[in-house]
Amino acid sequence: MHVSGQLFDSAFETRIGGTPAGPDEVFPDWTPLDRFGLVVTEPLGGLSAALLLQLAIARFYTHRPERRDSSPVYPEIYLFHVGGPHGDFSSFDFWPPRKEVRVPAGQPRALLEAVNAHGITRLALPLGEPGEVGADGELGAGSSTWAEQASALERLLSCFLYSADGHVSDGDVRLSSTDPRVRENIADTLDPMPGVLAVRARAASGRPPAQAGPSAVADGLRWADMVDRRADEIPQPARDRAVATHAARLHAQPDRLVEVYRRITAEEALARIAGLR
């Protein structure tokens, strides 16, 4: 659970509508029981919302600091692979593996059910065309015409749209960071094998895991084995494109990573879920 000692509110600069803001304005009324969900529809697509994800992780620890050390807990973050899997994101501490949830493509209702089943309160979705909601739409065709939608509407407190290039053109939330630590998990997701080799080498030397919490050597080896098994999940051309996209973002501002999102209502989030095919 390395993110507990890696990510802090101070690493992020926030603007909302062009005005400086704080993390409480990005995620208003955050509580220790909040859960962040990230929907991904293309290979390694979640990296385009890496700052929002990592700010949510920082919030998780800020509101209960003992989670970092004296009562260690992995962050309550969930990644929904729609039509995937779309790559291993465990470098961001989506752990245990159940926190990466696979949802079939072309079944928006299955995604809504997964979001509800995992108690998501803050949700990030990729840009896309909205679909039809209500009793006559896809989301109302399940066991109830309205129950799943009502559950989400009551619980979702913050919803965002993100773009594949990291910048929603009409976005109102701008996150940026010059802290090199916010880039570490992105780099490790793009190329996870160096981390796997490091964990195995450390285990072979008999040294304890280099992480916070009570993890045993066996825990690190299980993680390394899982990442190794998923190494070919993304075809190399798709991984190369993701690497190039991220390199272009860094080239634009070498010392600062910037992402822009659009806040949407819970009702709009349901329409976006309905439109995911």
The length of the chain is 277
Handedness of CA 258, 263, 266, 268 (dihedral sign): negative
Distance of CA 226 to the CA centre of its chain: 19
- Edge-to-edge strand list for the sheet holding 100-103: 19-21, 13-16, 173-177, 257-264, 158-162, 122-126, 36-40, 77-82, 100-103
- Identify whether the C-beta of residue 140 lies closer than 8 Å to the C-beta of residue 108: no
Block mean pLDDT (10 aa), the chain, length 277: 94 97 97 97 95 98 95 97 95 96 96 97 96 84 89 98 94 97 94 91 80 81 93 91 86 86 98 92
Give the C-alpha distances (Å, rounded to integers) separating 141 from 110, 137, 161, 172, 271. 11, 7, 25, 33, 14
Taking a C-beta distance cutoff of 8 angstroms, is the pair 80, 89 a contact?
no
CA 275, CA 271: separation in Å to the nearest integer? 6
Going from the C-alpha of 155 to that of each of 32, 35, 111, 120, the distances in angstroms are 15, 10, 15, 7
Query: What does the alpha-carbon distance between residue 64 and residue 88 come to, in Å, rounded to a whole number?
Result: 27
Residues 6 or more apart whose CB falls under 8 angstroms from that of 246 comprise: 47, 186, 190
State residue 215's pLDDT score: 83
Placement of tokens 């690493």 in the chain: 11
Give the pLDDT of residue 216: 85
- In one letter, which amino acid is 192? P
- The burial of 79, by beta-carbon neighbours within 10 Å (0-12 exposed, 13-18 middle, 19 or more buried), is given as buried
What per-residue confidence (pLDDT) applies to 245?
A: 87
Average pLDDT, the chain: 93
pLDDT for position 5:
94
Rounded to the nearest 10°, the torsion over CA 110, 84, 80, 60 is: 170
Spatial distance between the Cα atoms of 276 and 107, rounded to a whole number of angstroms: 8
Decide: 274 and 168 in contact? Cβ < 8 Å: no
Among residues 80, 97, 1, 3, which one has the least CA distance to residue 45? 80
Within 10 Å of residue 4's Cβ, how many Cβ atoms? 23
Which DSSP state fits 27?
S
First CA to last CA distance, the chain: 34
Structure tokens at 1: 């659970």
